[in-house]
Amino acid sequence: MSISVADQLDLFDIEVKTNQRDQTSTTFIGNMKLPVHRWFRYSAGFSADWVKETIRQYAKDKSMILDPFAGSGTTLVAANEIRFPSIGFEKQYFVNRIANIKLHYTFNIDHTKKLYNEIIHCPVSKDFNFDGQPELLKNCYTPEILSILIAMRDKYNEIADNSFESEILWLAITAILRSTSHAGTAQWQYIQPNKKKKNAIDPYAAFSQKFSEIVWDLQLFNKKNITAQAEILNHDARELLQAYKNAFDILITSPPYPNNYDYADATRFEMIFWNEIKGWSDLQTRVRNGLIRSCSQHSAAEKLNLDTILHDPLLVPISGEITAVCKELEQVRLEHGGKKTYHTMIAAYYLDLAKVFINLRQLMKKNSIVCFVIGDSAPYGVYAPADIWLGKLALAAGFESWSFEKTRDRNIKWKNRKHRVPLKEGRLWIRG
């Protein structure tokens, strides 16, 4: 079963209202010009410059930084750049691998070039079987382009040697899969085989360019003596990691939003290319497990009991409000064709975040600073105020205060929208 792009995007069309600097500080756009950050474009990141500014503003000499939803590693790379140690959690294994590569800067240039040369000069099979390739790939590439990319992939698999240098090559191939496809890419990473874009880049040119970009940036970091003081763990942010109790002074993160975006699906295209999953059904078993339940695929009504979730003691601080919203959604969904399980999605999402705050209270030192870049949502037009609910859950977990700083409005274009609720994105500052 697949969810349409229109449906996925329905909840979070973005329109900018505030000033230029502010609105880009909660996006990834600016990072595509920055060394190392630019290696892979990942959705829902935030600006690395803003992360650095924030760390500088609050850090003391030996402050330890945490990002419990590290994604492609923006916070961690930024912390490295200004020489603060950091730890990240990222439960989506494919994204975790990408972030890991962005957190190593020592490399052997000769070995890297040798691997690169083997891949770029590998012959393309004359018997390439286009028809035998996965459907999604056939829809996204011409036979000629796909034969080149598959030849690169197979060569990589043949010569990969578990070294960081071969990880660089893996990333260089992974990072060009979208720019070399004629398929459109929707906002937030969804591939759209039926939408054609004008300029697909030649795979050899894209690969060379990405490779030289990575090597250039590594050399730049080495020249600046930037060393990796960060580690990214394949850890679920809801669970305590004893080793890091009371370890952190500053937390900067952007968790999944309760807006039906599926982080398991975010790299489905790349995972299919690398033969790691066969298709949609593998996402649930291999990728989605362990992720915050922020999408309806993750909150099937037959698997989750709404009342059981709503009666969980962890939701007591918001129980009246969340029960009203979820019960309304339980009714409203019946009026919609898709009958999406947003009622269980919202309930499960806030229960997951309650667990995250309880965990974070133990990981963060007393008087620490916590910043969550968040967005609220209004599935089927029913508004769930993320700032207030998350603020209350943070206080219930033992933090002392919270405040919300809006950075931009979302969904303010009424045309074609099903609902009329202005949504916002911004920073939830939590202290104590």
Ligand X SMILES: C[S@@+](CC[C@H](N)C(=O)[O-])C[C@H]1O[C@@H](n2cnc3c(N)ncnc32)[C@H](O)[C@@H]1O
Q: Which residues bind ligand X (CB under 6 A)?
A: 42, 44-46, 69, 71-72, 74, 89-92, 95, 236-238, 254-256, 263, 290-292
- To ligand X, the closest distance from the beta carbon of 152 in angstroms equals 25
The 10 Å Cβ neighbour count of residue 404 is 18
Provide the pairing of β-strand 191-196 with 65-67: unpaired
Residue 129's Cβ-side half-sphere holds a number of Cα atoms within 13 Å equal to 3
DSSP state of 285: I
- To ligand X, the closest distance from the beta carbon of 292 in angstroms equals 4
CB-nearer residue toward ligand X: 24 or 74: 74
On whether the CB atoms of residues 269 and 277 are closer than 8 A, the answer is no
CA distance 385 to 330: 18
The 10 Å Cβ neighbour count of residue 300 is 12
- To ligand X, the closest distance from the beta carbon of 55 in angstroms equals 14
Residue type for position 143: P
Residue with tokens 């496809």: 181
- To ligand X, the closest distance from the beta carbon of 260 in angstroms equals 14
CB-nearer residue toward ligand X: 156 or 261: 261
Which residue of this chain has its Cβ atom nearest to ligand X in the complex? 71
CB-nearer residue toward ligand X: 254 or 368: 254
Let me know how long the chain is: 432
CB-nearer residue toward ligand X: 44 or 306: 44
- To ligand X, the closest distance from the beta carbon of 53 in angstroms equals 15
The partner residues of 86 in beta bridges, in order of sequence, read 65, 230
- To ligand X, the closest distance from the beta carbon of 81 in angstroms equals 14
CB-nearer residue toward ligand X: 255 or 317: 255
CB-nearer residue toward ligand X: 164 or 188: 188
CA distance 351 to 80: 32
On whether the CB atoms of residues 103 and 75 are closer than 8 A, the answer is no
